[in-house]
Homo-oligomer: A and B are copies of this chain.
Amino acid sequence: VATSSRRSTYHHGDLANALTDAATELAREGGPEAVVLREAARRVGVSATAAYRHFASHGDLYHAVKSRAQDQLADYMEEDAATAADPIERLRAIGSAYLRFALAEPGLYRTAFSREDTSAPHQAEPADFRSYRMLQTVLDEVMAAGLLDPARRAHCETALWSTVHGLALLLLDGPLAAMPPDLRQQAIDRVLEFSLDGICPARAVNPPPASGRPAPGST
């Protein structure tokens, strides 16, 4: 399996993967619009036509790239979740990893959440996202630990996902793009706390004594 962009043999051996790699790199550099079949083929050192042996259309290739991007996001989250000691910490960790990924890999992040071609094989469901399933699991842990009122359990995923997703996009493409980095980190920290407080209001009213939660305003 040659990962090099020029090959010696006539047959590539793993062209589908090589094209997906190249196209993912395009997304990384330039976002969803930069995923161009011809350019991916060019980078692999192959004719554009060759791509059609492995992908039915541009949309097919694009779909593969999008999946990769979603997976990398989940990787970031998994990595940070592993360092967390308790469920609330873990919730904070996956939220902050989400934003870390969005800011570190804006092109991939945008691609992961770009609108799919209407002719997509099937409508995406939340459960198709590894990151969503992680969020579900952690919320269940928080509830099991007695920190989340079962009456408030429904729609928690949606609330948290909305917040981090919205913040990511406001920071990347929106009116918050001009924020200086230090203020930006402060905003991220505060927004995450607001979210946790919304889920577990008791936590905010009677803060746990030994919690590592930073006081409002500190950094």
Chain A residues at the B interface, C-beta cutoff of 8 Å: 113-115, 123-126, 128-129, 132, 151-152, 154-156, 158-159, 161-170, 172-178, 186-187, 190-191, 194-199, 201-205, 216-217
B159:A195 contact, CB within 8 angstroms: yes
Query: Cβ of A154 and Cβ of B216 under 8 Å apart?
Result: yes
Please tell me if the beta carbons of A158 and B190 are within 8 angstroms of each other in the complex: yes
Q: Are A167 and B162 in contact (CB under 8 A)?
A: yes
**Contact across chains for A187 and B163 when beta carbons are under 8 A apart:** no
Determine the distance from Cα of A160 to Cα of B14 in the docked complex, in whole angstroms. 47
Main secondary structure of the interface of A (DSSP, over half): helix
Q: How far is the CA of A154 from the CA of B183 in the complex (A)?
A: 11
B125 pairs with A175, CB closer than 8 A: yes
Excluding A114-B173, A123-B177, A197-B197, 12 further A-B contacts by CB distance (< 8 Å) are A155-B186, A159-B191, A159-B194, A162-B166, A163-B163, A164-B166, A165-B169, A196-B198, A198-B204, A201-B202, A201-B205, A202-B205
Q: How far is the CB of A129 from chain B (nearest CB, A)?
A: 6
- Give the contacting residue for A173; candidates B115, B166, B196; CB below 8 A: B115
Residues on the B chain within 8 Å of A174, using CB: 113, 124, 165
Contact A197 B201 (CB under 8 A): yes
Interface pairs (15), CB distance under 8 Å: A129-B175, A154-B190, A154-B216, A155-B186, A156-B194, A158-B187, A158-B191, A159-B191, A162-B165, A162-B191, A164-B166, A165-B166, A165-B170, A166-B166, A201-B201
Residues of B within 8 A of A151 (CB): 216-217
Kindly list the 8 A-B residue pairs having the minimum CB-CB distance in the complex, ordered from nearest: A166-B166, A198-B198, A201-B204, A162-B166, A165-B166, A162-B167, A155-B190, A194-B198
Q: Chain B residues near A204 (CB, 8 Å)?
A: 198, 201
Does the CB pair A175–B217 fall under 8 Å?
no
Q: Hey, which chain B residues are within 8 Å of A194, CB to CB?
A: 155-156, 159, 195, 198-199
